[in-house]
């Protein structure tokens, strides 16, 4: 009997040693997953989730709160969502985005969708960031965007009534740093998946295209007419972008060198990342500087507005004539097809809207 007690005591001691005395048992966040659309499951590699930032319910919820929190900016005036508005396809309708104090930036805001499926790690128009975590640092500190410092942000967070607990539950930390802020944002942004457009339903056999949309698709895929698919994807690449850099013939010389700013290679001057053609119904104006207000202007550009420069992409055709000169009919149909790639359930998905 005595022996037994001794054994019990020593066992108790042993186990208590195992689980650190000072730390109460750490909260374990609930693993979460991206809601991958069926069409992506069929056609694409799995989403890219970095090993050191797995998705959790707590992390995503925290990321969403941060995304909509104006206190991330210097003067509490803007949040991520000011330039990435849900109803505008998570971009904004200014040609170039406005930072704190209404300071104009130099580029058009990019729509946020399907970024977990960017396999090449090219973020921003010029690929200046290679991960989302890295990307999110930029708007927060950029003087033409939120113009804040992480020192101020972490002070704000620790003074808040509920952020500290949220960070502790998501990342098991008591001191919040830049790392956890950008990780949480990235978790939320990775969940923003758009794969439920009319065209997706058509691919699944759940919708039919109008004759206009069908002809527009043919123009898009036809090397002698639109030939858009080489850069912007096709029914077998439902991201509707190649996520690679090209110069699509907008200018003869470059105020913004785009990709060339990052690599320093003159062959890359004037190259920008092909944007996805999803959700164009909401994301006007278009191009890296928002120069085109309508899809008509975009299509006219490709049809007859191309201009030559040294780095113009070799896929651009008949440049001396400004392009291949689509018929009026083909242009209208092409636009009808492009609009079938817009996904109203994405911009209205409560998971992405403020609570």
Partner 1 sequence: MKKATVLALFLVSVLACNSNDDDASTPAIESDVTIKFTQSFDDQPVTASEFSNLDYTNENGEQLSISRLRYLMSDIVLTDVNGIDTVISEYQFVDVGESSGALLEAPIKFEEGDYTLSMRFGFSDADNIDAAYPDLNAATWGVPAPLGGGYHYMQMEGVYINSEDVNTNYQFHTIRAAENPGDDVILTDTSIAVNLGTVSVEGLATTIEVNMNIEEWYKNPNLWDLNDLYTMLMPDHEAQIMMNQNGQNVFTLGDITYISE
Site for partner 1, rule CB under 8 A: 42-45, 117, 119, 218, 221-224, 229-231, 233-237, 239, 242, 267, 308, 311-317, 319-320
| Out of 53, 56, 109, 169, the residue judged to bind ligand HEC by CB under 6 A | 109
- Spatial distance between the Cα atoms of 4 and 122, rounded to a whole number of angstroms: 64
Contact 176, 157 (CB under 8 A): yes
Write the interaction track for ligand HEC spanning residues 171-210; mark x where CB under 6 A is met and - where it is not.
--------------x---x---------------------
- CB of 142 vs partner 1, minimal distance in Å: 28
- Spatial distance between the Cα atoms of 322 and 306, rounded to a whole number of angstroms: 4
Contact 100, 73 (CB under 8 A): yes
Binding partner of 275, given ligand HEC, partner 1, none, CB within 5-8 angstroms per partner class: ligand HEC
Tell me the two tokens of residue 321.
């004539």
- Spatial distance between the Cα atoms of 220 and 201, rounded to a whole number of angstroms: 19
- Options 14-22, 164-172, 192-200, 267-275: segment touching ligand HEC (CB under 6 A): 267-275
Residues 6 or more apart in contact with residue 100 via CB below 8 angstroms? 73, 74, 75, 77, 78, 145, 146, 147
In DSSP notation, 94-158 reads SSS-B-GGG-B-SSPPPP-SSGGG-TT--BSTT--BSSHHHHHHHHHH-TTTT---HHHHHHHHH
Residue 283 interacts with ligand HEC (CB under 6 A)?
Answer: yes
Tell me the two tokens of residue 177.
């740093």
- CB of 186 vs ligand HEC, minimal distance in Å: 8
Binding partner of 256, given ligand HEC, partner 1, none, CB within 5-8 angstroms per partner class: none
If the CB atoms of residues 92 and 200 are measured against ligand HEC, the closer one turns out to be 92
How far from chain centre, in Å, is Cα 79?
16
Q: How many CB atoms lie within 10 A of CB 349?
A: 17
- CB of 355 vs ligand HEC, minimal distance in Å: 17
Tell me the two tokens of residue 67.
């995304």
Tell me the two tokens of residue 137.
């640092």
- CB of 273 vs partner 1, minimal distance in Å: 13
- CB of 27 vs partner 1, minimal distance in Å: 36
Binding partner of 82, given ligand HEC, partner 1, none, CB within 5-8 angstroms per partner class: ligand HEC
- Options 20-28, 33-41, 154-162, 268-276: segment touching ligand HEC (CB under 6 A): 268-276
Please give the angle made by the CA atoms of 147, 151 and 157, to the nearest 5 degrees.
100
Residue 282 interacts with ligand HEC (CB under 6 A)?
Answer: no
Contact 169, 58 (CB under 8 A): yes
Instruction: Name the maximum alpha-carbon separation found in the chain.
Output: 100
- Contacts to ligand HEC by CB under 6 A: 67, 72, 78, 80, 82-84, 97, 99, 105, 107, 109-110, 112, 115, 123-126, 132, 135-136, 139-140, 145-146, 185, 189, 226-228, 230-232, 246, 248, 250, 272, 274-275, 277, 280, 283, 286-288, 298-299, 302, 313, 315, 334
């Amino acid at each position: 009997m005595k022996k037994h007690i001794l054994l019990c005591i020593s066992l108790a001691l042993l186990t208590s040693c195992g689980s650190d005395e000072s730390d109460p048992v750490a909260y374990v966040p609930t693993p979460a997953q991206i809601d991958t659309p069926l069409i992506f499951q069929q056609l694409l590699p799995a989403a890219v989730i970095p090993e050191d930032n797995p998705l959790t319910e707590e992390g995503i919820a925290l990321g969403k709160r941060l995304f909509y929190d104006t206190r991330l900016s210097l003067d509490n005036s803007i949040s991520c969502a000011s330039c990435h508005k849900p109803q505008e396809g998570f971009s904004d309708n200014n040609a170039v985005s406005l930072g704190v104090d209404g300071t104009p930036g130099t580029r058009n805001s990019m729509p946020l969708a399907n970024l977990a499926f960017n396999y090449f790690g090219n973020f921003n128009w010029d690929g200046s960031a290679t991960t989302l975590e890295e990307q999110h640092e930029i708007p927060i500190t950029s003087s033409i965007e939120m113009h804040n410092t992480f020192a101020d942000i972490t002070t704000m967070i620790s003074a808040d009534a509920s952020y500290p607990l949220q960070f502790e539950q998501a990342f098991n930390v008591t001191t919040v740093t830049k790392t956890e802020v950008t990780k949480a944002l990235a978790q939320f942004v990775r969940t923003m998946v758009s794969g439920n457009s009319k065209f997706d339903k058509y691919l699944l056999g759940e919708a039919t295209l109008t004759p206009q949309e069908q002809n527009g698709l043919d123009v898009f895929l036809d090397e002698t007419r639109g030939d858009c698919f080489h850069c912007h994807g096709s029914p077998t690449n439902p991201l509707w972008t190649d996520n690679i850099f090209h110069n699509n013939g907008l200018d003869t010389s470059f105020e913004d060198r785009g990709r060339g700013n990052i690599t320093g290679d003159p062959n890359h001057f004037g190259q920008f990342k092909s944007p996805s053609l999803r959700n164009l119904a909401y994301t006007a104006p278009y191009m890296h500087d928002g120069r085109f207000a309508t899809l008509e202007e975009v299509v006219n550009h490709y049809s007859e507005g191309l201009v030559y420069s040294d780095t113009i992409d070799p896929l651009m055709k008949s440049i001396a004539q400004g392009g291949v000169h689509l018929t009026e009919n083909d242009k209208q149909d092409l636009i009808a097809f492009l609009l079938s790639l817009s996904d109203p359930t994405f911009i209205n998905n409560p998971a992405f809207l403020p609570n």
